[in-house]
């Protein structure tokens, strides 16, 4: 069963329930109203007869008194459709004293069970196949019950009105249900049109792999409008991601092809001429390069699905910065570059030493890669209130303004021609370094920002929360870091 069919059935079923409840209510109210009108007519007629009747007592002295009823002409008190009987209770058995003309030949009580009752009593009785409403009221004389007045009216008018109403309401209900089905079909088709469009678009994408498909929505910004907007946004994101991944596959394929070709070539040389140190070094270098690329991919993959958590503990950030600075000096030993440790303040954070060092080395490697010979890379660490500020600046080629928003995206790389323009001759990168930096920053509850100007340089600024216990807790490592810095200077 389709969702559209379910929607129509729910809509029609709800309408049927409303119609049934409304019909039952109207039916009950109408029946009660008609019966009440008959009861009022019976009551008024019985009261008129009772109030217009007289009873006389006759008899000789010492003999029992005989009651003589003086009754009005009952036909004069008949309301429309109401007949009257008066039954005397003077004697061993009830005796009919008078009756209106239409039931004069009927020598039976209209409601035998109510004779002798001292309280008014209504009842529905069936006589000769006809349903009637009967009211029995008492007639007293000197506090003694002398007779009962029974007023009767046929319920045929009530039954006819009830049947007519039932017929009309049934017909109207069927028409309403039919109309609701048609309206429900129209509404469901209109309401589900965006969903149908999304389904068609998804099917089209599955057939053609065209991620540029978008839905046009001209309706209001309601739930369906939001759904269309989310779908279009998702498709745009998927298109961007797919494009990036395609570029990444091409880049990684090229990057892997180069070391594999180098390894294969060196192995051929080994086979031909035997083992030599130069071939072994080349094979080792290319193997390390592939290993780094694979490790970076595995690291980000584990971080994506939550399989990698960091153990954060009190960490002397200045010690890590000093170690990273020393390693950077090794990285530039064959380049005409200066790596300067300018500001350096002892500061303690809660972090993971290995990952913070990886963050620093990624930023420093990035700066070395994009800074031409004769340039300068500056490393600063200082405290700003409750924040430890780490800055890595360079005098390199800079980053174009339109590229700044992409630099932390996975697999994104700058224009390779600008890298070659630095004169480093190296374009080896998987585009994962800054993505790893961003993940490490977020895992430490820190923030990172970047400022850059083409052909002038770039500055990355990382801000860590300072550990609450203060920067000098466990002062041993700080003394060691400071002494090492002094020796370095």
Per residue in 231-284, pLDDT tens?
A: 888 888 888 777 766 765 665 666 667 677 777 887 887 888 777 777 777 777
323 shares its domain with 296 = no
Domain-located, residue 202? no
Among candidate residues 109, 49, 37, 56, the one with its CA nearest the CA of residue 75: 49
Q: Can you name the residues that pair with 376 across neighbouring β-strands?
A: 338
In terms of domains, do 240 and 267 share one? yes
Give me the domain span that covers residue 388. Answer: 313-488
Task: Kindly tell me if the per-residue pLDDT of 483 is higher than 80.
Answer: no
Looking at residue 129, the DSSP 8-state letter turns out to be T
Q: How many CA atoms lie within 13 A of 148 on its CB side?
A: 26
Comparing 266 with 362, which gets the higher pLDDT? 362
Burial 403-441 (b: 16+ CB within 10 A, else e): beeebbebbbbbeeebbeebebeebebbbbbbbbbbbbb
Compute CA distances 323 → 87, 459, 470, whole Å.
123, 20, 22
The answer to whether the beta carbons of residues 456 and 398 sit under 8 Å apart is yes
Which token pair is 42? 């019976």
Name the pLDDT band for 430 (thresholds 50, 70, 90): low
Residue 216, SS3 per DSSP: coil
Q: Measured in whole angstroms, how far is the alpha carbon of residue 104 from the centre of its chain? A: 77
Strands 130-141 and 313-316: unpaired
> Which of 252, 273, 304 is the last residue in one of the domains?
304
In order of 59, 305, 410, 439, 440, the CA distances from 297 in angstroms are 127, 13, 10, 13, 14
What percent of the chain clears pLDDT 90, i.e. is strictly above it?
25
The yes-or-no verdict on residue 379 having pLDDT over 90 is yes
| pTM reported for the whole predicted model | 0.46
Predicted confidence band of residue 79 (pLDDT cuts 50, 70, 90): low
Q: Residue 184: inside a domain, yes or no?
A: no
What pLDDT does 255 receive? 60
471 and 331 belong to one structural domain: yes
Residues 42, 46, 49, 51, CA torsion sign: negative
CATH number at residue 64: 3.30.450
State residue 251's pLDDT score. Answer: 59
Segment 381-399 shows an average pLDDT of: 94
Q: Supply 233's token pair.
A: 């946004």
pLDDT for 44 beyond 50: yes
Give the pair of three-digit tokens for residue 412. 């994104």
**Whether 149 and 252 share a structural domain:** no
Residues 477 and 395 grouped into a single domain: yes
Question: For residue 474, is pLDDT > 50?
Answer: no
Q: Residue 306 has which token pair?
A: 């939550």
- The rounded distance, in Å, linking the Cα atoms of 433 and 363 is 8
Q: What is the CA radius of gyration of the chain?
A: 51
Q: Does residue 181 sit within a domain?
A: no
Q: Mind listing the pLDDT tens digit for each residue in 395-408?
A: 999 999 888 888 88
Same domain? 261 vs 371: no
Give the pLDDT band (50/70/90) at residue 424.
low
> For the chain, how many structural domains are there in total?
3
Would you give the DSSP letter of residue 109?
-
Sign of the torsion formed by the C-alpha atoms of 66, 72, 74 and 78: negative
Is 101 part of any domain?
A: yes
Note the pLDDT tens digit of each residue in 145-204. 888 898 888 888 788 888 888 888 888 888 888 888 888 788 777 777 777 777 887 788
Q: Is residue 199 part of a domain?
A: no
Q: Bridge partners of 380?
A: 391
CATH of the domain at 238: 1.10.287.130
Q: Which has the minimum average pLDDT: 52-61, 343-352, 430-439?
A: 52-61
Nearest to 312 by CA among 372, 250, 365, 355: 355
Cα 78 from Cα 103, distance rounded (Å): 12
Q: Could you report the per-residue pLDDT of 298-335, keeping only the tens digit for each?
A: 677 667 656 677 889 999 999 999 999 999 999 998 89
Q: What is the DSSP secondary structure assignment for residue 486, as one 8-state letter?
A: H
CA 101, CA 326: separation in Å to the nearest integer?
129
Per-residue pLDDT at 470: 46
Angle at 432 between CA 426 and CA 437, to 5 degrees: 110
- The residue ranking higher by pLDDT, 381 or 214, is 381
Are 317 and 298 contained in the same domain? no
Q: 189 in a domain, yes or no?
A: no
Do 285 and 395 belong together in one domain? no
175 domain residue, yes or no? no
Question: Are residues 237 and 281 located together in one domain of the fold?
Answer: yes
Same domain, 279 and 408: no
Phi, psi at residue 178, to the nearest 5°? -60, -45
Number of H helices, E strands in the chain: 10, 14
Other residues' Cβ atoms within 10 Å of the Cβ of residue 328: 22
pLDDT of 376 higher than 90: yes
Residues 257 and 118 in one domain: no
pLDDT given for residue 395 in this prediction: 94
- Tell whether 252 is covered by a domain: yes
What local confidence, expressed as pLDDT, does residue 425 receive? 45
Supply the pLDDT for residue 372. 93
Alpha helices in 56-117 (DSSP H): none
Query: pLDDT-derived band of residue 100, with 50, 70 and 90 as boundaries?
Result: confident
For residue 316, what are its two tokens? 């002397």
The yes-or-no verdict on residue 89 having pLDDT over 80 is yes
Q: Give which of 344, 347, 381, 355 is closest to 469, Cα–Cα.
A: 347
Q: Which residues pair with 461 in a beta bridge?
A: 391, 449
String of b and e for 446-468 (b: at least 16 CB within 10 Å)?
bebeeebeeeebbbbebbbebbe
Going across the sheet that includes 121-127, the strands are: 95-99, 82-88, 144-154, 130-141, 121-127
Domain boundary among 110, 144, 161: 161
- Shared-domain flag, residues 55 and 134: yes
DSSP state letters, 261-320: HHHHHHHHHHHHH---HHHHHHHHHHHHHHHHHHHHHHHHHHHHTT------EEEEHHHH
**Domain boundary residue among 161, 181, 198?**
161
Q: Which helix (H) or strand (E) holds 34?
A: helix 3-51
Share the mean pLDDT of the chain. 80
Is pLDDT larger for residue 435 or for residue 474? 435
For residue 317, how many other CB atoms are within 10 A of its CB?
Answer: 26
Q: What CATH number should be reported for the domain holding residue 462?
A: 3.30.565.10
């Amino acid at each position: 069963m389709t969702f559209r069919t379910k929607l129509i059935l729910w809509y029609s079923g709800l309408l049927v329930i409303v119609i049934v409840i409304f019909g039952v209510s109207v039916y009950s109210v109408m029946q009660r109203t008609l019966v009440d009108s008959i009861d009022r007519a019976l009551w008024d007629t019985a009261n008129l007869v009772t109030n217009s009747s007289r009873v006389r007592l006759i008899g000789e002295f010492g003999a029992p008194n005989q009651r003589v009823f003086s009754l009005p002409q009952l036909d004069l008190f008949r309301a429309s459709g109401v007949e009257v009987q008066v039954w005397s209770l003077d004697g061993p058995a009830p005796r009919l004293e008078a009756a209106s003309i239409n039931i004069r030949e009927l020598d039976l009580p209209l409601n035998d069970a109510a004779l002798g009752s001292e309280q008014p009593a209504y009842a529905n009785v069936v006589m000769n196949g006809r349903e009637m409403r009967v009211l029995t009221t008492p007639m007293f004389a000197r506090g003694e019950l002398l007779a009962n007045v029974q007023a009767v009216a046929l319920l045929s008018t009530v039954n006819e009105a009830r049947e007519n109403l039932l017929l009309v309401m049934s017909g109207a209900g069927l028409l309403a249900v039919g109309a609701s089905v048609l309206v429900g079909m129209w509404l469901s088709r209109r309401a589900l049109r965006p969903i149908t469009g999304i389904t068609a678009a998804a099917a089209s994408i599955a057939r053609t792999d065209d991620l540029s498909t978008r839905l046009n929505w001209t309706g209001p910004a309601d739930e369906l409008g939001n759904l269309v907007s989310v779908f279009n946004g998702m498709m745009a994101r998927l298109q961007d991601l797919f494009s990036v991944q395609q570029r990444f596959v091409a880049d990684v394929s090229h990057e892997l092809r180069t070391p594999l070709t180098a390894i294969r070539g060196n192995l051929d040389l080994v086979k031909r001429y035997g083992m030599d140190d130069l071939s072994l070094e080349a094979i080792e270098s290319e193997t390390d390069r592939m290993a780094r690329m694979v490790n970076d991919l595995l690291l980000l993959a584990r971080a994506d699905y939550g399989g990698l958590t960091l153990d954060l503990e009190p960490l002397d950030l200045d010690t890590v910065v000093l170690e990273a600075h020393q390693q950077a000096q090794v990285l530039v030993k064959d380049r005409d570059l200066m790596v300067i440790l300018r500001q350096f303040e002892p500061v303690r954070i809660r972090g993971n030493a290995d990952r913070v060092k990886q963050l620093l080395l990624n930023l420093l490697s990035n700066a070395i890669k994009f800074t031409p010979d004769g340039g300068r890379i500056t490393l600063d660490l200082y405290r700003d209130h409750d924040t430890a500020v780490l800055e890595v600046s360079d005098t390199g080629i800079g980053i174009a303004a339109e590229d700044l928003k992409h630099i932390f995206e996975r697999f994104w790389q700058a224009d390779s021609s600008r890298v070659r323009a630095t004169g480093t001759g190296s374009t080896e990168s998987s585009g994962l370094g800054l993505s790893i930096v961003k993940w490490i920053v977020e895992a430490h509850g820190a923030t990172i920002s970047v400022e850059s100007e083409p052909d002038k340089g770039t500055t990355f600024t990382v801000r860590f929360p300072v550990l609450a216990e203060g920067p000098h807790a466990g002062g041993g490592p700080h003394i060691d870091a400071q002494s090492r810095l002094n020796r370095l200077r």
